[in-house]
Structure 1
């Protein structure tokens, strides 16, 4: 396999695009009045179940991705809450599109230099994996034809859609999947770029730029899972592959590199298969080969009246086990398809004997399916219906290996690789939503927000923050709280340091800072502003409030005895220090300042800010010299 660091992406014809999915921080969900706050599964008050099946489009077609999903019969259980309404349960038609969400979408469109549509129509997108109780996701095109700049040239923004978020997948169950409805229906914008991206680095830069523009609105949700990136990648001789669910921006460049490497490797395998005249045979039941086997997986399937199904792969010897991505081989691709149809995976002769399968059993297997040393065999052991479905899927994927790279949707893995999910969806999964009337977007009332890059510059210019701290605050979740504190006269550097550094340090010390309310944070900073709390004690007071969140900052200040010394108390303590060191002051003058400063601070027991003590000490020394 070629080293991805040596790729000439221009020569390979790399073409990439992004789909950014961002939840909006609105008061209500997109098609009902339910709140958009997330809940814990333990808060669920009831459950209900559904079985979902694909429907035909207006032209009588069934989407291939939905059809494959429906071949696995599963029950979907939904966790409902005290806020779950009939719309979320699909027991009532959706309401009109939320006006606040539409306004935010238009604001985002403006930042992306896009043209709003004259009329937005809601469409149904068929989804039968259980993530929507209705069996489809509602989506509406809001704007088109935008553009962003990157250091490698402009990247077009093809479309911006406003749609409802899916339910949250909680866990697999014996009969299917359990979902939580707290997330279902949260407004979500989907931003699709043109296929203008020609390098992994440009893909990352474009995603970062779009992310910055989204956060600049101040009305998008933050945190894990609130923004997801899908990456579309192809090379000239390969095929378009969509990688879903990229959680971290930092993973994007690695995923593009990894997908290029995978496609290059698959093309090399296809070339070698062509030279060998390779082909794929018909699946065969080889259960008799493994009677009395020591393999736990195979023996377990057979003891449960299951079967072992095999498919001969003529000319594939040595290639099924060839690595196409780190820790992923062509055999892994075949296994992904078997798993998609309910099996636990596959065995193949490039890795056998192993896993309890003996050399003798491998030889007998080869005889049973009539292959020689240039061929390979893949097997699936499971209950008979599952084994038959899975081996057919393995055979179909092996057929595509003969021609190169299949178009498909894949799931992004954390290590920069990907796994097969389903075929690419087609136009057959979209049809009009008849329960929601169209709306006419009005961009005339949309105000362009300050970009976060501009906010960073303003914080440096107006508040004197250094570049690093200014960026931390501007891009952080507590930026509105910083603005609120500064507007009340709190020192900007103190406010920024408290919100970005002090709270982080407290969290690392296992202090439950999530218990702190915004009013408690601002109130604490106000006490420091007024001199009632030494700046050095801000963290101590916040720690006390986090442990006792029912207290006000004033009550915690009194209980913890963290109040600052008065001006008279500071002056008296400093004067006493100077008196005790009168000879040194007379001899050294202001040169005695450094040594006496520490003594003065100690005498006040941390109840006074260094600035106040310093000013008083300088004045006292000057009066004596």
Structure 2
């Protein structure tokens, strides 16, 4: 991957980090925040959403573009879904627990809380909220974090409701699940102080560590999302949404810088060629009887083929601006945004069943010469008209350089066009939720994860690797509960980090095990009612039937504790069966017989007890 002189290019970047909070209830209702399977939905309902004007009578550009394609939105509702989530009842007051966690995060980020939190409505009509807007409230401002490349300011911390989870995109609409809608979420926005891809990643890692230090954030795929704002001196601010993994952030920044550099190079060449974008037109007649399946299919269904001549663009539409993405891909993204499947353009034709003769006829129909390019869309007539206009608009911005826009992160570190950058016209006050006084005086500053690692080593005796695993792991709050309950720290850490990992590798449904299940099993061991060697089997039994208590699982697995005399009888039988080996090898036979003895007892006895008895029995016979 090409690296750049970022100082010379004038790279400026900032982060927006969205993290779900692990609270008992949602932000504006008392429904649970647990994830549900769409198959558990008990009913569904549909909505159509349209943009509304701000208090100043303005329409947001992103909302207007979203509304160009009429979509039906279906929402899956559950036995826990309430009228607030369905937008049939006004929202309740801001959740108290979520406010307290947000203030803890503000403290860790050295931010100044606002005196009152005022809830605002943010216009969103992509269907991800039943109301057509997202509710958000400013909690704190003016913080700072440190990185190895210097300080990064933290401009604002907002508390807002999470959007609905997209389940399926289908022709004419989208299906969403309401289990996620309304889960409390913090949005953290940094200042544009980041000037290298490495610093962007380090800043995100630092903020992520601080968030997890509260012990009150959700973990797992989709619970934290990073948006990255990137620009270079002659380029434009681009917001990249939905970066899921921290490992991707530096690559995303590098590739966006590369994209803007290439777009600026294309602009220079277009200016030299005195390039321009022509009028869009219907060119369906050119493709009468075509062998192209896509074009023929659209025409056969009564659709159209529309075209736009791109004068002076020959060879540039096909130029790569990111790995496997070209200027033509950018044009195609805009066509897709308006309902089309994509575009064809003359830098890649003849191909896809389009012949040389059809390409020549196409050029003639739109007045394009050898230095020009032509882009076409084949779809139903309304979609084809909308899509080719969007392509023409994007091609026109290529003459200016880099457009300001919102883009989506792809898995390979590249990005795709989503929508224009939103403006202030999409934000207005929420009149159904009263302001809330914020009092940070009672907020307890959480212990940082880095501090926990040190404490786990110095006070609890964990090794450095295990201490870090536990502190940064998803079960850290449960580990703290276990230790507070008097359970041995090393044993608890082993169960949560090693035993569960082994069970997961063996395809045990570890996700069915609740914190209470795990704590119960650890307590049984601590109380001497279950041998450590039986933990895996008991947890497997509970995972298979989560309705079982730990005690019931011990009984079902046949692992009720045995007396020392029972252990001695079992070990004696093993030694008797292997009498010749014992006489020949003495204590050298210990390892082989230990495994056999543990197998005979099937985890009913502690390994240390079995080991002591076996040594005694071998010494007697030797």
Cross-structure match for 1:135 = 132
Q: Deviations over 1:364-420 (max 9, x none)?
A: 111111122111110011111211111111111111111211000001101101100
**2:112, 2:446 → 1: CA distance?**
17
Partner of 1:602: 596
For residue 154 of structure 1, report the CA deviation from its aligned partner: 1.0
Distance 1:35 1:582 in 2: 62
Shift of 1:267: 1.1
Name the structure 1 match of 2:63.
66
Instruction: Measure the CA separation in 2 of the matches of 1:445 and 1:612.
Output: 49
Extract unaligned runs of 5+ from structure 1. none
TM-score, with length taken from structure 1: 0.93
Partner of 2:212: 215
- Structure 2: which 5+ runs fail to align? none
Mapped to 1, the partners of 2:377 and 2:582 lie a distance apart of 90
**Partner SS, residue 395 of structure 2:** helix
Name the counterpart of 1:468. 465
Tell which deviates more after alignment, 29-38 or 238-247. 29-38
Q: Deviations over 1:169-197 (max 9, x none)?
A: 22123332222222221111110000111
Alpha-carbon contact 2:597-2:610 (below 8 Å) kept: no
1:525 aligns with 2:519: no
Which of 473, 480, 484 is the aligned partner of 2:481? 484
Secondary structure, counterpart of 2:192 in structure 1:
coil
Write out aligned runs for 1:378-389 (5 A): 378-389=375-386
1:111-126 to 2 correspondences below 5 Å = 111-126=108-123
Q: Does 1:238 align with 2:232?
A: no
1:321 shift after superposition: 0.6
**Take 2:121 and 2:605, find their aligned partners in 1: how far apart are those partners?**
64
In the alignment, which residue of structure 1 is the partner of 2:34? 37
Segment drifting more, 162-171 vs 482-491: 482-491
Tell me if structure 1 keeps the 8 A contact 2:267–2:398. yes
In the alignment, structure 1 residue 150 sits paired with structure 2 residue 147: yes
Is 1:512 paired with 2:509? yes
Task: Tell me which of 224, 228, 235 is aligned to 1:227.
Answer: 224
8 Å Cα contact 1:597/1:613 also seen in 2: no
Counterpart for residue 271 of structure 2: 274
Q: Per-residue displacement from partner, 1:451-491 (whole Å, max 9, x unpaired)?
A: 11111221122222222222222222222222233334333
Asked if the contact 1:601–1:613 (Cα under 8 Å) also holds between the matched residues in 2, the reply is no
* Aligned 8 A contact 2:582 2:589 in 1: no
Q: For 1:86, what is the secondary structure of its paired residue?
A: coil
Which residue of the partner structure matches residue 362 of structure 1? 359
Shift of the 583–297 alpha-carbon distance from structure 1 to 2, 3 Å rule, reads: closer
Structure 1 CA distance for aligned equivalents of residues 152 and 141 of structure 2: 13
- The Cα of 1:575 is off from its aligned counterpart by 7.5
Q: 1:463 to 1:304 in 2, by over 3 A?
A: same
SS across alignment from 2:268: helix
Relative distance call for 1:586 and 1:340 in structure 2 (3 A) is closer
Alignment map for 1:6-405 (pairs within 5 Å): 6-405=3-402
> Residue 514 and residue 617 in structure 1: after superposition, are their counterparts in 2 closer, same or farther (change >3 A)?
same
Question: In the alignment, is the contact (CA less than 8 A) between 2:405 and 2:420 conserved in 1?
Answer: yes
> Counterparts of 2:584 and 2:47 in 1: how far apart (Å)?
89
The alpha-carbon distance between structure 1 residues 535 and 598, as it changes in their structure 2 partners (threshold 3 A), is farther
**2:581, 2:589 within 8 Å by CA — same for their partners in 1?**
no
Q: How many residues align?
A: 619
Q: Would the alpha carbon gap of residues 61 and 339 (structure 1) be closer, same or farther in structure 2, given more than 3 Å must change? A: same
Moved more, 494-503 or 384-393: 494-503
Q: Does 1:495 align with 2:492?
A: yes
Offset, 1:534 = 3.0
Alignment TM-score, normalising by the size of structure 2:
0.94
Cα distance in 2, alignment partners of residues 289 and 135 from structure 1: 43
Q: Distance in 2 between matches of 1:601 and 1:389?
A: 73
Deviation at 1:35, TM superposition (A): 2.1
Look up the SS of the partner of 1:113 in the other structure.
Answer: coil
Show the 5 A alignment for 1:602-621.
Answer: 602-603=596-597, 605-606=600-601, 607-616=604-613
Cα shift readout 1:257-279 (whole Å, capped 9, x = no counterpart): 11111111111111111222211
1:449 pairs, out of 434, 443, 446, with: 446
Deviations, residues 69-96 of structure 1 (Å, cap 9, x unaligned): 1111222222222322222222222222
C-alpha separation between the residues in 2 aligned to 1:188 and 1:62? Answer: 26
Deviates more, 1:577-586 or 1:528-537: 577-586
Change (3 A) 1:587 1:181: closer
Give the C-alpha shift of residue 164 in structure 1: 1.2
Q: 1:593 touches 1:617 (CA, 8 Å); kept in 2? A: no
